A = this chain, B = another copy of it.
Amino acid sequence: MTSAYQNMTDAALDAALADLERQADDLRALNLKLDMARGKPSPEQTALSKPMLDLVTSETDLTDGGSSVDNYGDPDGLPSARALAAELLGVDPANVSVIGSSSLNLMYDCVENGYVHGIAGCKPWCQQGTVKFLCPAPGYDRHFTVTESFGIENVPVPMREDGPDMDVVRELVEKDPQVKGIWCVPRYANPTGITYSDDVVRAFAALKPAAPDFRIFWDNAYAVHTFAGEGEPLLNIFDALAEAGADNLVYEFASTAKVTFPSSGMAWVTASPSDMAELRRAFSAMRVSPEKVSQLAHVKFLKDAAGVAEHMRRHAAVVAPRFALVEEKLSAGLGELGVATWTHPKGGYFVSFEGPEGSAKAIVALAKELGVTLTGAGAPWPYGRDPRDTNIRIAPTYPSLEELGQALDVFVVAVKLVSARLAKAERA
């Protein structure tokens, strides 16, 4: 694709550049301080869960089934919390451990288990030379940071509109025994917002890994985070495994980080019975009991999957207009110019933006100059290396609609100016 700027005469391009520089100067003079960097719920959203804080009081019965909420015990979480967590993922509560408030922490612990203790009787990864994780990219930077922190080699895999490129995944997983895992966000992926198709989910379930200690890290972070109606369906990976006659292949994670309070929710992991037995052994050395008071409050507030869906409709009422504004501003500002594409998610927290080759770092830097913080260019790639320097993650949830509109206006100018400068540089 060639852009409007590339197609201009030299004089027209110079005029466009001069105009854009003036617009940038005007914006710079406003001393804006806006943030579209992180996937944080807005204050309007967290306020939706404040009623939860009234549900556990000094008068509350602090038992749950046979469990004491206020004392040690229940390393897998309260029975009611496990039931809710299981229902949300369509799995058996017996295979669920609800622990802590951070699913990222559980993912870290599962990587740690492979690295330090070893999976399924295999040697620990720390004794297997260089081991690798596949990182569909663009993806979630904190996933990649976990494996990078262990010195595991992060290998990028192309993302398509229906999930990771499964031909590439299959080739790597089935031929290379050093490949020990893959990071996946199967619904409303971070940052592209796409949902894996049934074919992709079935292709995952059908993998025949070269390494018996290979596991799919299935981070269903946005399992219930849809903007309208039922949202895009995701095939249950454990159903797909059963169909394929496979087992011991998937760790699935989820949390209420963006359902209730990001720092104070509940997080859980589920896997096959034998994988869970192994994880529980590892977890038993790590901690005594999970945060059961918080779990009780969550269960009283959210109740069940229907209660969660109702609550998420309230979130959607706040979030959907922000995503609509992204679509509107980008279409209006950039739609005719042929400089960029972006995704159109139906749920989740992000829009993934693709600018001209070699533009992303410059756009992020220019936006910063003009008062708008974006996620660092390259962050959604292993080691921060976007090979074409095109991808920018837009996180529209936290700012108010007004601030978001301003931030997007700045972003559009930054994209145009950088694109025009690139077109000019091509002619030099």
Contact = CB atoms under 8 A, between A and B. Distances in A.
Contacts of A427: none
A40 interface: yes
Contact of A289 (B146, B262, B287): B262
Contacts of A70: 43, 46, 49-50, 261-264
A420 B149 CA distance: 58
Contacts of A257: 288
Contacts of A282: 149
A292 interface: yes
A71 B293 contact: no
A251 to B, nearest CB: 16
A71 B117 contact: no
Contacts of A261: 69-71, 292-293
A185 to B, nearest CB: 15
Interface stretch (A53-61, A210-218, A321-329, A374-382): A53-61
Contacts of A50: 58, 62, 70
Interface stretch (A99-107, A166-174, A354-362): A99-107
Given A40-B72, A102-B289, A294-B294, A116 B108 contact: no
What's the number of copies of this chain in the assembled complex?
2
A411 B58 CA distance: 37
Interface in A250-295: 257, 261-264, 282, 284-294
Contact of A264 (B52, B105, B292): B292
A51 interface: yes
B291 A291 contact: yes
Contact of A293 (B51, B145, B264, B284): B264
Contact of A263 (B52, B60, B71, B148): B71
A108 B73 CA distance: 19
A41 interface: yes
Contact of A288 (B46, B73, B142, B286): B142
A287 B112 CA distance: 13
A302 interface: no
Interface centre among A108, A261, A282, A287 (most CB of B within 10 A): A287
A288 B106 CA distance: 12
Nearest to A78: B263
A38 interface: yes
A206 interface: no
A139 to B, nearest CB: 16
A292 B104 CA distance: 17
A250 to B, nearest CB: 22
Nearest to A117: B149
A141 to B, nearest CB: 11
A69 B260 CA distance: 12
Given A74-B263, A102-B288, A293-B294, 7 more contacts: A40-B71, A50-B58, A70-B263, A112-B116, A142-B285, A145-B285, A294-B294
Interface of A: 38, 40-41, 43, 46, 49-54, 56-58, 60, 62, 68-74, 100-102, 104-105, 108, 112, 115-117, 124, 126-127, 142, 145-146, 148-150, 257, 261-264, 282, 284-294
9 A-B pairs closest in CB distance? A263-B289, A264-B293, A149-B285, A50-B58, A105-B287, A46-B70, A102-B287, A126-B126, A72-B262
